[in-house]
Amino acid sequence: MTDDVTAELIELLRLERIEDNLFRGASRDIGTRYVFGGQVLGQALSAAQQTVEAARVVHSMHAYFLRAGDNEKPIVYEVENTRDGGSFSARRVVAIQHGKPIFVCTASFQVVEDGAEHQQRMPEVPGPEDLAPQPPYPADALEQVPAKLRRWLMRAGPFEFRHVWPRDEVDPPKRPPLQHVWFRLAGQVDDDPVLHRSLLAYASDFHLIGTATLPHGISYLHPNVQMASLDHALWFHRPFRADQWLLYSCDSPSAQGARGLARGSIYRQDGVLVASTAQEGLIRLVAQDG
């Protein structure tokens, strides 16, 4: 059974079909300065999937964020049928706002096949039932945050997160570039695996590049920090449900040149690796006036 915030997200991922390979999606202002990158990832995957036969399942997508998205305006998604082979299909998706591309990605789909299997073991961490939900930010801490971002911190989003090592985004300590976060959709949804993959694409943009800031004691909430996703890669390995607990295990091997790289592995609660991610993002420290 879905609640209002979950139903709103599902509706966000259900695009309006304008033409055979042309779709339009609404934008949601969730308190971020620009369109949340996960929204564009999820909508682009939804658009591409609608042009591929149902028997072919997405196994990877590779994206670049070209311009900041306007969260007051809809986004048009143009899908190019790059190839339909015997086992694989490839699609190129361009997201357009105000007549300009803001995002481009390629997605690859495959007929389900059997083959050799192995996977990396899930880290040994406490389960979500053993971790407390994120407590509300204290009022005095929220006063230090710009009003728009304050709404982001106070909102009840469609996903629930439980951090193995909680972090204070207002005054973060320095620590190694590694974090483990349990997450799940707040409401129950139907069994459609296409929907669950689009939901995971949406959620995969949370927490990932923030891992690269951990050794530096900085946060996207700090006025002298500029952060933005530059690219994003997502590989789907095995079946999962976005409304059941998943562990996002993230690390950052490098930060340099005002950019940080982060990698993620997503596991079901039974230890099965269901997806992998990678993202490079802008992490720029700017001078403050005065």
Sorted by sequence, the CB contacts under 8 Å of residue 143 that are 6+ apart come out as none
CA separation for the pair 107, 93 (Å, rounded): 8
Sequence length of the chain is 290
Assess whether 249 carries a catalytic annotation. Answer: no
The closest of 143, 155, 61 to 104, measured between CA atoms, is 61
pTM metric for this prediction: 0.93
Sorted by sequence, the CB contacts under 8 Å of residue 199 that are 6+ apart come out as 9, 10, 13, 42, 185, 189, 242
The closest of 166, 93, 92 to 134, measured between CA atoms, is 166
Q: Write down the catalytic residue from 204, 205, 243, 249.
A: 205
What value does the mean pLDDT take over residues 156-180?
91
Tokens coding 218: 């900085």
CA separation for the pair 18, 27 (Å, rounded): 16
3-state secondary structure of 68: coil
Q: Given this model, what pLDDT does residue 169 score?
A: 81
Q: Given this model, what pLDDT does residue 224 score?
A: 86
Assess whether 229 carries a catalytic annotation. Answer: yes
Assess whether 279 carries a catalytic annotation. Answer: yes
Query: Could you tell me the domains of the chain?
Result: 4-111+134-285 (2.40.160.210)
Q: Write down the catalytic residue from 204, 229, 249, 265.
A: 229
173-197: pLDDT as tens digits: 999 999 999 999 999 999 999 999 9
